[in-house]
Structure 1
């Protein structure tokens, strides 16, 4: 399925291109049939040299038409591309030469073929022409054909029909390739957005996972160093063993984050926060109601970020986590008693809380914080959908 859009787009483009090429290749075949029919009728002044020359001119013009159609398709799919002036001049000369030679034969099918010739020449460039201009060209050709049909020969109307079929068929092929190009661009943008979203998810999850993990390692490393300086080597060794265990767990968390298997659960996050704070010597009190499952994951990330900030920016000895489910919103309050002058600012302006605030704003929630003496209070709230009375 991964190769489906690109593979089929290329096949479709090749199909459209060659459909128009084959349509333009019908010119020399019809011209040869017309000459053979006219020869059988015994038109005057026609020799084998005349016939071969005119068929050769038809083949040359067809080659120019195919090249022009290819250039038109390339511009549709790849953008503006210069066309040599010599090519345009030679294309025009071959067209005029074939038209003049056909008129000189004075056979009944001349009017039909000339109009078909005009249709093929215009059709080669039709993929680049807008629908409005194509309509104008069609109206002009119709008016001219009607005038010729009334003044010269009714065959002009038959030739006009062939001409319009070729022109609009070529235009529709160009339109299909333009649609294909837009679909390809949309597919590329979708792919780029998917990659950007996945990178954002991984970076956000890694920040959430390792923010707390690194804070834990930092706290325990300081504790182990202090114990070692005091000569309590066994306790220091225990702390270092715990640090190694945390590092091993972090490696497993990285693999789960990269694979997209990690989901923040409410109960797991509460227990993890309690264990982490306990390992740092901080008492944790949890109270309140159960959070609705729909909002548990977002608020679990708030707990993770809040606990990480407590370890990084405070000297807390006690942390409380309280939840409240009101009729119109669910709220989470996280407080600690170790706020510092610089800690409060650092906690409020850290990139983690900014990211949490952005995430909550995305679902209509908000984050508020305040400092009351040594206590720092972080409140996150999310609105609950209101039931519409029947």
Structure 2
């Protein structure tokens, strides 16, 4: 039993916040009919005359109320799916609920006519116990105005039936108020709750669309940069190649000069392309810190950054920028964090230490990713280290990166590559068009190990 409970808890923690809210809202809606039933039926039984026939009829009302609740629960489950566009309207369940409510009204009217219902409040509470099961399902199928009109009309009709059965007008007024109040609450509560679920789903879809648009926009920008860099050079290379061909056919000595210029332009183009890719893939530390704070706060995570002014080499800044990006991505994808702290300090022996901590731990997933493995390889090339640990006591996840500050040329914090600087891009780098850098948000699809 304990193992079963722990498994259920782990399954719950693995759900996203949207899934947790949706599941809890659905369960609350399914409990509403039973809350109404337990609120109204005991008071009805207290008022019934303690004789054989009245008690038999009251037990019939009890059974009808239970049937009403079962129909209401099934109808609400299907009604929620219908409102969210994932199923058909539960018309048969609604018809069965209306029939059950009508039979209950007839039995209570007989008790009133015979004088066995006792106080007027008992008769009203007998119908109050089942009205939410009926109006809740109906409210998910029709517009609000129509739902209100039909609910009020039904309460008036029930009051008229009780009046024919002999109920006095003060009791009729109380019955109308009780049924109207319970019916309207039962009508709007499920509809408002499901509307919240629909809005959250729409926001989640909008967030995904925004991410895809950001990637598409960055790809277009990268394409424009490549066109600007390569367009002129390729045109000149094509023209000079044609000229060299013509000169070679004529046996002119200047063909060698033209081919050398073509070679020079090709090397220049290669250098410029590498510079564009270098600037595109460069993960500036200050830029990544600002982007992580913006994205995490937009996701509802309280992000605090403590950054010391360190004169680090460009390679060290780039490596720590990738750590910030991957860490922010993991916080968003693999945790239900409410706070995240990022600290950049000077370590021993001339090193820079970056620590990221977040709460909202989920149970460890069996699938391992390659994100942290790639970061370890990137830092190892600079004689740096990366550690990741789960602190179950403090309920935090801690990512710690340490890299030497003095390797390579020192630059100011946040400085990218200068004009004309180049770097050899190895096969281990990801495709440039699949990376979104800067404040647009974290990129990559790596999972936390």
Structure 1 length-normalised TM:
0.52
2:241 match: 221
Partner of residue 145, structure 2: 132
Which residue of 189, 206, 210 maps to 1:190? 210
The offset of 1:173, in angstroms, is 2.0
Q: Secondary structure at the match of 1:45?
A: helix
Counterpart residue number, 2:79: 72
Shift of 1:122: 0.9
Q: Tell me: CA distance 1:199–1:25, structure 2 relative to 1, closer, same or farther (3 Å).
A: farther
Q: Contact (CA 8 Å) 1:43, 1:107: kept in 2 or not?
A: no
Higher mean alpha-carbon deviation, 135-144 vs 103-112, is at: 135-144
**Structure 1 position 260, deviation (Å):** 8.8
CA distance in 2, matches of 1:121, 1:142: 12
Which runs of 5 or more residues in structure 2 are unaligned? 1-14, 284-449
Q: Does the 8 A contact of 2:29 with 2:190 survive in 1?
A: yes
The answer on whether the counterparts of 2:136 and 2:187 sit within 8 Å (CA) in structure 1 is yes
Between structures 1 and 2, the one with greater helix share:
1
Q: Which residue matches 1:118?
A: 131
Cα deviation for residue 172 of structure 1 reads: 2.4
**Correspondence for 2:27 among 18, 22, 26:** 18
CA contact (8 A) 2:78 2:90 kept: no
Partner of 2:181: 161
In structure 2, relative to structure 1, the CA distance for the partners of 1:107 and 1:203 (3 Å cut) is farther
For residues 323-343 of structure 1, what are the alpha-carbon distances to aligned partners after superposition, in whole Å with 9 as ceiling and x for unaligned?
A: xxxxxxxxxxxxxxxxxxxxx
1:291-349, Cα deviation, whole Å (9 max, x unpaired): xxxxxxxxxxxxxxxxxxxxxxxxxxxxxxxxxxxxxxxxxxxxxxxxxxxxxxxxxxx
- The offset of 1:116, in angstroms, is 4.5
Matches within 5 A, 1:81-96: 81-83=87-89, 86-96=92-102
Distance 2:158 2:44 in 1: 23
Aligned 8 A contact 2:148 2:184 in 1: no
Hey, what's the Cα distance between the residues in 2 that align with 1:257 and 1:56? 74
CA distance in 2 between partners of 1:57 and 1:203 (Å): 69
Deviation, structure 1 residue 214:
1.9
- Aligned residue in 1 for 2:46: 37
Give 2:232's aligned residue.
212
Determine the C-alpha separation between the residues in 1 that align with 2:252 and 2:63.
Answer: 103
- For the Cα contact (< 8 Å) 1:27–1:58, is it kept in 2? no
Structure 1: stretches of 5+ with no match in the other structure: 1-5, 262-390
Measured on the aligned residues, the alpha-carbon RMSD in Å equals: 4.0
Which structure 2 residues correspond to residues 343-382 of structure 1 after superposition, within 5 A? none
Conserved 8 A contact 2:244-2:259: yes
Structure with bigger gyration radius:
1
1:288 aligns with: none
- The Cα of 1:207 is off from its aligned counterpart by 2.7
What is the distance in 2 between the residues matched to 1:227 and 1:29? Answer: 100
Q: Distance in 2 between matches of 1:255 and 1:44?
A: 90
Equivalent residue, structure 1, for 2:307: none
Measured against aligned partners, the alpha-carbon deviations of 1:19-60 in whole angstroms (never above 9, x if no partner) come to 221112224434553465357x62441567973x55443333
Cα 1:107–1:56 change in 2 (3 A) is same
Quote the residue 1:107 is aligned against: 117
CA–CA separation in structure 2 for the residues paired with 1:83 and 1:127: 9
Q: State how far apart, in whole Å, the 2-side matches of 1:170 and 1:183 are.
A: 20
Matches within 5 A, 1:45-56: 45-46=53-54, 51=59, 54-56=61-63
Q: CA shift at 1:121, angstroms?
A: 0.5
Aligned length: 254
Tell me if structure 2 keeps the 8 A contact 1:28–1:62. Answer: yes
| Distance in 2, Cα, partners of 1:70 & 1:37 | 32
